[in-house]
Structure 1
Amino acid sequence: MTTTTPAHPCAGCGASVAFAPGTTTLQCPYCGLRQGIAPPTRDVREHSYDAFLAKPRVHTLASRQFTCPGCAARTESDAISKACQFCGTALVADTANDTQIAPEAVLPFGLDRGGARNALRGWVKTRWFAPNRLKKVSEAETMKSTYLPHWTFDAHTVSDYVGQRGEHYWVTKRHNGTTRRERRTRWYPAGGRVARAFDDVVVAATTQAPRERLDNLQPWPLQQAVPFDPGYVAGHHTLRYDTEPQTGLEQAKTVMAGVIHDDCRRDIGGDVQRVTSVDTSYSHVAFKLVLLPVWIGNYVYGGKTYQVLINGMNGEVQGDRPYSALKIALAVLAAVALVGLVVWLYLANRA
C-alpha cells in the first residue's frame, strides 16, 4: 500500500517543521519560525459500536510505504508518523483510505523534551534502594516523543445484583471476672438494580508497551483532546493500533465492572456488604480512537537497559529501575539491629 505523505515545509527556509509541545504551532528546528495549526472546524466524534460490528473489517495489516518529500527515499513502517531515517524530514501518513480505523482525536503533547527530562530526574531521585550512581541519570539514552493509540468507550449499563447486607451489633462477654465487648454481624439477603452511564473509559490499543504501565499513566485530560490533525503528530512518532475494538471493549468492561461492583455495595447499604453475582446489560456503546502523548525513554545502567514511560501532559513516570543490593542488605541489618535493641531494653527494664 502506497501512502501519500503530506509535507510540512517551513515557510521561511523550507525545512521540515514539527509540532511544538505545549502550543498549537509547528516550529522549524533550524530557523525557529512558527506556523499555526488551523483551529478545528468540528468537534471530536464518537462512533456507534453496533455500526462498527456490522461492517466488514480487514484484519491483515499491510505496512505503509512512505515517500519522503525531502530526499525522495521510500521506506516501510507500521507507524502513522515518524521521521525519515535518511534526512530527518517529518513524515505523516494519509489515513483517509486506510483499512484500519482512523484516529478520531489527538491529545497534543504538553510536555517538551526538557519537561520530560525534569520528570525523569525527579522520578530517579525518589527511588528507594536505588544505586547512588542512578541519581546522576538526567536524561534517558533515547527519549522519543510517541503518540500511542488508545480506545475510549462510552456505555449505558443496567446491572441486576444479588448479595447480602451486613449490620454490626455488639455483645458483652464475661470471662474470669473480666468483661469485654465483641462485635458481631447479622447478614440479610439483598438484591436490586443499579444503572450508570460511562464516559471515556480508556484502554490501550497497542501491545508495544506494557498495558499495566500505560494504565498507570492515567488520568488523561481528554477534555483537551482535539480532532485529529496531521500537524499535531508531525515530527513525532505515532504507532498504529494492534488491539482491535472488540478486545478493547472487553478490557473496558473489566474496568466498568469494578465501578459497578462499588455501585452495588452502595445500593446494598448496611455496615458491610457481599456481592455474590452481577448481571450487566450494555446499550448505546460508542467508541473512538485517540492518540495519547507518551515520552518513551531508555537508559543504560550496569550494562542493562531500562525503559521508562512519561505522561506527555503531567509528567507521571512509570518504568524499570535497578536496585542496590548493598543498600537493601544495610537496611535489613539496621532493622535487625533495631529489633535487637528494643528487645534488650525491654529485658533490661524487667530485670
Structure 2
Amino acid sequence: MTDEQLPPPLPQPVNLPQPPPLPQPARLPDPGALQDPAQFQVSEETRTYPCPQCGANLFYDPGHNQLLCRACGHGEPLTAPHGAVGKRDLQQAMHQLAQRIAANEHGGLKSLSREVVCQNCGGTTSFEGTLTATKCPYCATPIQRNDLQQAPERLPIDGVLPFQLDQDAAHAKIVEWINSRWFAPREFKTYREFGSFTSIYLSYFTYDAQTVTDYAGQRGEHYTVVVGDGDNRHTETRTRWWPTSGRVNNTFHDVIEPANTGLDHKKVVELEPWPIQAAQPYSPQYVAGHLSRTYDEDAQQRFERGARGQMDEQIRTTIRRDIGGDEQQIHQVRTSFNALTFAQLLLPVWLMTVTFEGRPFQVFINGVTGEVQGRRPWSKVKIAAAVIAAIIIVAIVLLVVRLTR
C-alpha cells in the first residue's frame, strides 16, 4: 500500500504522542450474538458501540433490555442470546487450560496489562490487570478488550447477570446509606466532591457438585444424675458417648465465590444473595458502557480457597444430623467430589470509592437487588461530642435523683 492510500493520522489529545496510522475499522461477525451493533477494531482487538443515529456511544440500559444512546435517546434492541448458562467440568477445564498455556508459552498473551489506541479520538487507553472494559479518558468512548476475553490462556466468561439498577436508583441507595451513618465525618458525606462512583461487572465462579462423604465420630447422649448430700445435693447433666461412623450425600447448586482481588472481600460477599437463575449466556452487549473485569484467581484457586470451605461446612452439618443424639463429635471426614462443575459469571456492582485522610473506603451496591455494603470512617469529633453529651445526661440524672431523696 502506498502512502497516498493510507488514511490520515487520527487527531491526538493534548500532550499525547502521535500513534501510528491505523487501518480502517472492520466489522467482524460476533460469535456471542447475531447482528451485534458493535464496531470491531481489528488492529487493537477491541470493540466499541457507536450509535447508528448520531455516532455517540451506546450504553447497556439497566432493566430495559436495550442499548441506549444518551446523546440522542436512540434505543437499539439487544440481540444477545437468551437461555440457561452452561457449566463445565472443573478438572477437565483446568487440565485443558494448562495444556493451552503450555502450547502458547512463547506466542500467547504476554501480559494482562495493555495499552490500546482509541479509534474515536486517537488517545491512548490503558487496560490494567484483569480490566476488560473501560472508557477512553479523553473522549469517554466505552472500549471493550477482546484479546483478554478470548485468550486461550484464560477461562472464558460463561454468563452475565445484567444490571437492573440504573444510576439514579443506585445514587439514591448510596445517599440513603451514607446519611444513615451517624458517626461518619461530614466530609465523607459530601463524597460527590472527591469520590468516584461507577458501574462495574465483577468476576465470580459458581459451582455445582455432588459429594459422598465417609465419616467417623461419636454420638453423645445426655443423662442426669443426682450428686452430693444435704445442702450440696443437686442434679448434674452428663454425656454418654458412643462411637459411630457412616456415609452421607450432599448436592450443591450455585455455590458462588468472588474471583477479583483488590476489593473488600468481606463486604463483597455480604452483597449476596444473587439471583443467579436470571443470568444469561455472556454477550459483550450487556457490558457496553460499564467497566468489567475477568478473574484474578482462577476457578481451581477459588474452589480450594473459598467454595470448598462452604461445601465442607454444609457437609459437617449433614454429618451431625446423621449422627444424631444430643451432641456430636466428628473425628474423620473423607469426601469425594463427583460431578464438580463451574461457570464464570459477571455480576453487576455499583462501586463508590472515597479516599479520606489518605485511606480508601469502598461502598458496594448489588446491581440487581440494591443491597448496600461498605465501610466508612468514624468522626472523632462526633464520637467525642456524643460521649460528652452522654456524660452530661448521666450527671443530670444523678443530680435529679440526689435532690429528690
* TM-score (normalizing by structure 2): 0.75
Q: Counterparts of 2:194 and 2:236 in 1: how far apart (Å)?
A: 57
Q: What are the Cα deviations for residues 227-250 of structure 1, in whole angstroms up to 9, with x where unaligned?
A: 111110010111122212221120
Give the 3 Å change call, closer, same or farther, for CA 326–73 of structure 1 in structure 2: closer
Q: Does 1:91 align with 2:143?
A: yes
Q: Does 1:318 align with 2:373?
A: yes
Q: Counterparts of 1:42 and 1:304 in 2: how far apart (Å)?
A: 43
Identical pairs, percent? 37
Out of 254, 257, 265, the position equivalent to 2:320 is 265
Q: Counterparts of 1:282 and 1:227 in 2: how far apart (Å)?
A: 26
Given that 1:117 and 1:139 are in contact with CA atoms closer than 8 Å, whether structure 2 keeps it comes out as no
The amino acid across from 1:186 in the alignment is R
Given that 1:153 and 1:286 are in contact with CA atoms closer than 8 Å, whether structure 2 keeps it comes out as yes
Out of 187, 206, 218, the position equivalent to 2:241 is 187
Out of 327, 330, 340, the position equivalent to 1:285 is 340
Q: RMSD across aligned C-alpha pairs, in angstroms?
A: 3.2
Out of 34, 39, 44, the position equivalent to 2:85 is 44
Q: Counterparts of 1:336 and 1:185 in 2: how far apart (Å)?
A: 53
What pairs with 1:303-314 in structure 2 (closer than 5 Å)? 304-314=359-369
From the CA coordinates, give the structure whose radius of gyration is larger.
Answer: 2
Q: For structure 1, which runs of at least 5 residues remain unmatched after alignment?
A: none
Per-residue deviation, 1:150:
1.0
Q: Counterparts of 1:53 and 1:99 in 2: how far apart (Å)?
A: 11
Greater length-normalized contact order (CA 8 Å, ≥ 6 residues apart): 1
Give the 3 Å change call, closer, same or farther, for CA 270–43 of structure 1 in structure 2: same
Q: What are the Cα deviations for residues 153-206 of structure 1, in whole angstroms up to 9, with x where unaligned?
A: 222111111222222223345554476443322222222111112122111211
Aligned to 2:127: 77
**Secondary structure at 1:30's aligned position in 2?**
coil
Q: Does 1:213 align with 2:263?
A: no
Per-residue deviation, 1:142:
0.8
Q: Counterparts of 2:259 and 2:110 in 1: how far apart (Å)?
A: 16
Aligned to 2:49: 8
What pairs with 1:37-186 in structure 2 (closer than 5 Å)? 37-40=78-81, 42-55=83-96, 56-58=99-101, 61-78=111-128, 79-94=131-146, 95-127=149-181, 129-131=183-185, 141-173=195-227, 176-177=230-231, 180-186=234-240
Per-residue deviation, 1:255:
1.4
The amino acid across from 2:127 in the alignment is S
Out of 237, 242, 250, the position equivalent to 2:296 is 242
Given that 2:89 and 2:339 are in contact with CA atoms closer than 8 Å, whether structure 1 keeps it comes out as yes
Given that 2:164 and 2:368 are in contact with CA atoms closer than 8 Å, whether structure 1 keeps it comes out as yes
Q: Counterparts of 1:23 and 1:47 in 2: how far apart (Å)?
A: 30
Structure 1 window deviating more from structure 2 (2-11 vs 85-94): it is 2-11
Given that 2:212 and 2:248 are in contact with CA atoms closer than 8 Å, whether structure 1 keeps it comes out as yes
Given that 2:80 and 2:285 are in contact with CA atoms closer than 8 Å, whether structure 1 keeps it comes out as no
Runs of 4+ displaced beyond 6 Å: 330-333, 335-338
Q: Counterparts of 1:330 and 1:123 in 2: how far apart (Å)?
A: 22
Q: Counterparts of 2:66 and 2:294 in 1: how far apart (Å)?
A: 24
Q: Does 1:198 align with 2:239?
A: no
Per-residue deviation, 1:140:
7.5
Q: Counterparts of 2:334 and 2:194 in 1: how far apart (Å)?
A: 47
Q: Counterparts of 1:337 and 1:164 in 2: how far apart (Å)?
A: 55
Q: Counterparts of 1:215 and 1:142 in 2: how far apart (Å)?
A: 21
Given that 2:84 and 2:279 are in contact with CA atoms closer than 8 Å, whether structure 1 keeps it comes out as no
| Alignment: residue pair count | 346
Q: Counterparts of 1:138 and 1:98 in 2: how far apart (Å)?
A: 41
Q: For structure 2, which runs of at least 5 residues remain unmatched after alignment?
A: 1-41, 102-108
